[in-house]
Each structure stands twice: as C-alpha cells, then as structure tokens.
Chain A
Amino acid sequence: MPLQSALDDVRILDLAGEIGIYATKLLADLGADVIRIEPPGGDPLREVGPFWHDETRIDRSLSYFNHTTNRRSITLDLAKREGRAIFERLVATADVVVETFEPGYLDGLSLGYENLTRIKPDIILTSITGFGQTGPHAHYQWSDIVGVAMGGVMTLAGEKDDPPNRPYGNQGYICAGIDGAAGTMMALVHRDNTGEGQHVDVSMQEALSINQETAMQTWDMTQQIRTRTGVRGMIPIDIPGIGVYQCSDGEVFAYLGTPGGAPWTVMLEWMTREGKAEDLNDEPYGSLIAGLNLGFLTALTREPEKLGERIQMLNHIYQVFARFCATMSKWTLYEEGQKQRLMFGIVSTPEDLVKNPQLAARDWYRSMHHDHLGADVGYAGPPYRLSATPWALRRRPPLPGEHNHEVYVEELGLPAADVEALAADGVV
C-alpha cells in the first residue's frame, strides 16, 4: 500500500528563503506537493555549506539537500512579466504560497495576497519574515542573529564576562519555520472547514519570544531582569553532581539529586565500587552527601550565606566527583548512570549523535540515493512519527529546474517550444 499522507491533496509554491525553508521542508516531508521556485541562475541557498565531500558546487550543498527533500524544482524569474504570468497560472493550481520577501515586495509585483485571491479565491499565503508584515520594524532587515538578539534569546546565553551567545544552527530561522508550518496547517484546517483562505503572518522575533523561558514573566511580575548566568546557571556556587564535567573523552552534564531520580548516595556507591570515592565515605562528607537533594539546592539558591563552613566540604566533594568523572567515558557515565536513575546527560557532539544507540535502535537516520552523485547520502530522521500519515523521504532533493518540463509542459500544458523560448529569454 502506498504511504498515506495528510497533505497529498495540497500543492505548495515554495518561494521561501533561508528564514522559511524549514517550514516548507516540514510540509513537504508530510507529503505535500511542494514546488520550489528557483531564480534562473539557481537558488542562492544552494551556496550554503556544508558540502558533499567539501566540493563547493551548487549540486552538492548538504544544507540544501536537507532543506529540499521531497521537492520538485522549477526555475522562474518573477522579476520578468512573462515569469509572473506563468506564476499566476501556477497559483491557480495551488493551495498555498510560502514566501519570505520584504513585506510589500510581492504587492509591488502585483502578486500580493489580494492579487492572489483574484486568481485563486481560497489561496493561503504564508509570509515568514524577521518582524512580520505590520508595525514600525516591518521593513527592518534581518538575519538569524538579529532575530535571536531582538527575540530575547541571546541575552540569556553565555558567561557574564562574554558577549551574549548566539544559539547554533539558525535557531531564529528554525523557530520561524516551525511556526510558519504550523500556521499554514492551521489555515488549511480552516479552509477545509469553510472554503476560505487567508494570509498567515509569521514574525521571527515573535516566534522566538517564548524561548525566553521565564524572563518575560520575571520582568512583568517582579521587575527583575534575567540575564546570562553562564555554566553555573542559577546556582551561585559549584555543587557536586550538578553542571558540566570533563570526562576522559568529552563532557557530561549532570543533575543529580532531582526528584524521581536516585539519591546522591547511589552515586557515592558507584564511585566506591570503582575505587574512586577517596574519603567521601568518611565524616563529615557522608552525612552531607545524604542530604544533597533538590530541597538543599532550593534553600541554597534562596539563602547562600547559610551554607557557612559547609562550602569547603561541598567543594571537596565537588573536586572528588570531578576527578571521578575525568577518569570515565562520557558514554559510561550517561548510560550506566541513567540505568541507576542518576541524571546524567551526555554532551553530544555531532559524531555522538550519529552514533547514538537509541537513535540507531529506532532506525532514526535515513539514507537516500542521489543518482547525480552515484552515492547514498545520509539524512537526519523525522521530528515526529505519525502512524497513519507518516513523515517520509519520498523524493531526493531536486537539481535546479529539474521539473521544468514536467510542471510547465505536462501539467500546465504550455507548448514545449514556448518553454524553450522562455528559457532562451532567461524567464525559466
């Protein structure tokens, strides 16, 4: 039986730049027919690395592969009148258009939301931009770092003495893309119910805001500013079993003594079995370790001065624990620790993620053959698993204009000779 899809009746015209391409990927991977519209010289996103075997060519971008799974590609120049005429014919066959131009750009080409509704009354136009379609900053320029700065995310990340940290991996674009896909889905549900399309407006700044965690409410309720607190987080001193620890082959993050987990004494037993507990079974350390739990931490965060002389003892336990970790593999601490209900998390490198036994056991990573490379390319797997209408890799990423003939001639019914003439004029 062919795979079912929740979106196999949905055609999407994909004009998205980097800020919106995760949205169209999410929709394509759920089965929508997504036609990527590239400018005739090729999509600038094809120039974004990393590249297959580090070969800097427009048909080798791994980033582009990832973002354009399950797409068809046509080339079309919207700046040319003939190009716009063809786009309008495509719109008549489409359910959704996703775009990321500066607000007003498509209106200037007579391809704005109102124009599109005259071609296709129930069209959904999803616009994903740095600051949204309205407001005094609507025309501000954006890049990912501008989003995570203005969206309140950077101010919370990093050491006090460093500049605020930008999260890795274009998280502004990712969050805007997720909300763009979700907003499009919501508009599709409404269209299914009522036959009515609409304009979906996603602002990267707004998409990021909720990532501030409690910072917004903290200011609103208590007029306190949450700022970056570095590796120690909210806890003012080094606490044994909490934070990042060096291992023999990398790092782990530990959060021992949390509710639902094993008490610190289980950790001490493990260290003892390994012969690395040093003097921690002796007093006064034994008693102190027995009381290292969340209640202790909460009290400490509120009134650190009450620690008094115990600071020295805690520091000693911390040092012994750190020495123990330094002799152990990060995988051993993570997997053997978790089996004992000790809250360890491996600080995964990309290599660790690819080799993660859990992801492997669940067949998370996928592979697709690229005929033009004569090789299989490894892909990341699904963000979610749906039993009836699954995420799936159905089609490898397209080469530029690979589906011009299929779309223009076979589906739109343009004469092949006309398409060739348009190609000669640089329209397609």
Chain B
Amino acid sequence: MKQPLEGIKVADFSWFGAGPICAENLASFGATVVRVESEAHVDGLRAVMPFAKDKTGYNVSGYFNAYNAGKLGLTINLNTAHGIAIAHKLIAWCDIFITNQTPRILERWKLTYEDVAQINPRVIAAFQPMQGFDGPHKYFMGFGAVLGPITGYSYLSGFPHRKPMGLGTNYPDYVINPGHTLIAILAALRHRNKTGEGQYIELAQIESSVAPLAPALMDYMANGRVQMRDGNRLPHASPHGAFRCRDNTFNNAPEDRWVAFGVFNDEQWRGLLDAMGNPAWAGDAKFASIAARKQHEDELDAHITQWTRERTAEDAMALLQSKGVPAGVVQNARDMLDSDDHLKARGYYVYLDHPEAGRTAYDGPPFVLSKTPGTLRTPAPLLGQHNDYVCREILGMTEDEVTEAVIEQALY
C-alpha cells in the first residue's frame, strides 16, 4: 500500500524536540526526510543521556535517536559559502521545509521565510520560533525547560503548597508543539495539492503551548479568576488523584507504586465502594455526594489509601476497572516497555537495529491508520551518514562536486 506522503520531500533544518519529532512523523507516513545537521552545530540532544550501554559519541544518544527515525542524515557547514549553496539545492528540492532554529540564527544563515521562498516559491515552510518573528520578545531565549513556566503549565500543575516546579520534563516539546506543527503542515499540503500554492507557517511555541490552556484564560478574561494549581484534584470529581499502593522491590530497594483514578458520578462511587468491600466509614453523610466529599477530601483520601496500600497497583486497577471505575497504574517506563501487555499487543513500541547503538526501542507512530499504518523504516541516522547519497542521488551532484565539497569542509 502506498503511504499517504510517498513522494513528498522534506528538508528538516530543525533540532532538539519540537521540529525533529514532527519531521519524524512525516517520515513514518512515507515522506523522504533529509535531516540537516553540522559538526559545527551539533544537535544538543546527541550529547544528552541516555547513551547505549558502554558506548560513547554522537550517535548513541537515545534522546536524539528517538526523534529521528526514518530520516537521511546530511551534515552541511552553513558557515561556508559552499555549504550554503548545498543547503539552497536542498531547499529547491523539497516540498516541506521545517526549522525551529532561533530568529537570530535564521537571519545569520539566510534561512528566513523570505530567503527560503525566494529559492522555492511553492515551498511549505514551517517555522517554530519560541516567541514568534515579531513583537517585543522576538529575540528572547528559551527551550523546553523555560517554556513550561512561561506558558502557564508550571503555575497550574502540582500541589499548591509546593513551588511551581513543572512536569519534570520539557513537556510542550513532545506532542503539543510537534503535533500542532504536523496538523498545520498537512493542512498546507492539502491546500497545495488543490491549488499549487505553498505557504508560510509560523508556529510560535509560546502560542502553541498556551492554546490548550484556553479555559483557564477565558476564566480570567470573563470572570477575573486566576486559577491556581490544586494537586491532583478536580472541582467536579471526588475522589480524584493518585493513591499509594503496596511497594514494589526494585534493585533491592523499595519502590513506591500508585494507582490513579477519579469518581465523576454516583455510579462510579458505588463501584469504588463495591471494590473496597463497602467499608463502614463510607456510610457517613459527609461522603454521600461529590459536593460533600469535596468538603472532606483529605479524610476521604486517607480512607482510600488504607485500602490501596493493602494491594498492588495492578490489582487495584484491575478490580476498580471491573467495577466500572476508570483507573490506571501510575506506570513508569519499565511498566510501559516490559510489562504492559496491552501496548505489546498493539505493537506500539518499535525496536530498530542501529549501527552503533544496537537494538533499541522507539515510540511508534502517534496514530494507527487502518490501511496505511505508519512505519519507522530505519533507525536514526549517524551524523553525516547519508552525505554521499543525498548529494549524489537527491541533489544530483557529481562525484567531483561531492569530493570538492568534502575538501572545502562544506559537508561537515
């Protein structure tokens, strides 16, 4: 079966998370993606843990490799005129150009939209600046760790007595920003297929990240209310949270285990009580409705924890699910990769043989299409792995031209 994006050519000038993940998704559904890097400007993720066991170097980072499957790797030194000429060839070749480099870098390298469209007027060019290409904060620096605080996720998440510490990751980098970009690119591709016209996509990461928090913003605009983080609780559910279960032993040390669930209606409350064996405390009027339970939530959570502590998180989940209560283990990566039979049955994680990192796991495509399921066709490229192939087979350079480019350190 022909993939949806077969024949579509992508010049991926991005780095870190938000750009490469989007381009990886394009590759998974059939596009030819050339990932542009430089030894003079290595993707920071190539130097970040984890690394394949007992291996070192730029090609064995699990962080980098996870976002670059299915791509061809090309190194170009954009600090040389020759390197820029090769970049221009690639831009002329592509249907889709994507980058999340900063405005400063794009101006220096002459990779602004105007530059790119001049070379390729039909291009779909997607840019992911942190703040956007105009406005007083245009040149502000940022990356995922700062984006979470700036965009409100840190203030609104976590327990109210704690500092706004965020989610423990560079959260908007992984689905919010690459996913929004993918939607925009596919919309632009449809438009181009219909009209022949390319277009300019500007996804300011701050705007893309704030957009999903709209209800809190509208609450302020309409009601003047400044919402505040409230741990794992919700105004319209009770109980709602993560409850501690029986500890595991891992590496000869205790490991805390948790089950997460929420009760949104009376039917689920009865299911929870049934699962807990209808304890006497639950008969008290102060637990009779969600509104009443919201008034006594600390006490309620303590009662529930007495029950969850007696069993494993997996048993608690299975029992609650059997009683109609939506519940799930707070899974860690070991659970998801090794123990979760559901993910295994669906084949979500994909193992690929990488020439240096060995056989390692990748997240599979983010959605399953029944007739054109995406596939991660190849592992992430080594730095510069496909220089010769891309130059000769894609850009049509002669052997002499490639040699000259190598000597001039343009392919570097």
Contact = CB atoms under 8 A, between A and B. Distances in A.
A and B from one assembly? yes
Contact of B25 (A148, A182, A345, A388): A182
A372 interface: no
B191 A4 contact: yes
A85 interface: no
Contacts of A347: 149-150, 154-155, 164
Interface stretch (B78-86, B238-246, B280-288, B402-410): B238-246
Contacts of B343: 135, 205-206
Interface stretch (B169-177, B383-391, B392-400): B169-177
| Main secondary structure on B side of the interface with A | mixed
B21 interface: yes
Interface stretch (A35-43, A284-292, A348-356, A411-419): A348-356
Interface string B185-206: 0111111011001111111101
Interface stretch (B32-40, B92-100, B223-231, B292-300): B223-231
A54 B190 contact: no
B202 A178 contact: no
Interface string A18-33: 0000100010001000
A179 interface: yes
B278 interface: no
A186 B368 contact: no
Interface in A108-161: 113, 130-138, 140-143, 145-159
B168 A156 contact: yes
B118 interface: no
A175 interface: yes
Given A145-B240, A189-B5, A388-B188, A225 B334 contact: yes
Interface in A331-371: 335, 338, 341, 343-354, 356-359, 361-362, 364-365
A49 interface: yes
Contact of A225 (B191, B250, B264, B357): B250
A387 interface: yes
A134 B344 CA distance: 11
Give the one of A207, A260, A356 with max B CB within 10 A: A356
A351 B226 CA distance: 6
A281 B363 CA distance: 49
Contact of B369 (A151, A174, A200): A200
A168 B201 contact: no
A239 B74 CA distance: 38
Contact of B190 (A7, A199, A209): A7
Nearest to B48: A214
B264 A168 contact: no
A182 B202 contact: no
A54 B340 CA distance: 42
B218 A178 contact: no
A377 B219 CA distance: 10
Contact of A379 (B5, B203, B214, B332): B214
A236 interface: no
A251 B163 contact: yes
Interface string A244-262: 1000000111010010110
Contacts of A201: 367-370
Contact of A6 (B132, B187, B198): B187
A193 B5 CA distance: 9
Contacts of A178: 175-176, 179-180, 183
Nearest to A364: B207
B266 to A, nearest CB: 15
A426 interface: no
Give the one of A203, A224, A383 with max B CB within 10 A: A383
Given A149-B260, A164-B258, A378-B221, A190 B190 contact: no
Interface stretch (A60-68, A70-78, A313-321, A399-407): A60-68
A198 B215 contact: no
Interface string A382-397: 1111111100000000
Nearest to B51: A221
B364 A206 contact: yes
Interface stretch (A86-94, A227-235, A268-276, A303-311): A227-235
Contact of A389 (B158, B188, B216, B228): B188
Contacts of B141: 258, 260-261, 338, 341, 343
23 contacts: A52-B223, A134-B345, A135-B345, A142-B326, A146-B326, A149-B242, A150-B329, A159-B159, A165-B159, A166-B157, A179-B175, A189-B5, A199-B370, A207-B366, A207-B367, A209-B348, A219-B338, A221-B53, A225-B332, A343-B142, A348-B155, A350-B155, A351-B220
Given A150-B340, A206-B364, 18 more contacts: A54-B223, A135-B342, A149-B329, A165-B232, A178-B183, A182-B186, A189-B189, A200-B369, A206-B348, A216-B337, A219-B332, A224-B50, A253-B146, A348-B152, A349-B228, A350-B216, A383-B207, A384-B208
> Which 5 A-B residue pairs are closest in the complex by CB-CB distance?
A217-B62, A183-B367, A378-B221, A345-B146, A149-B260
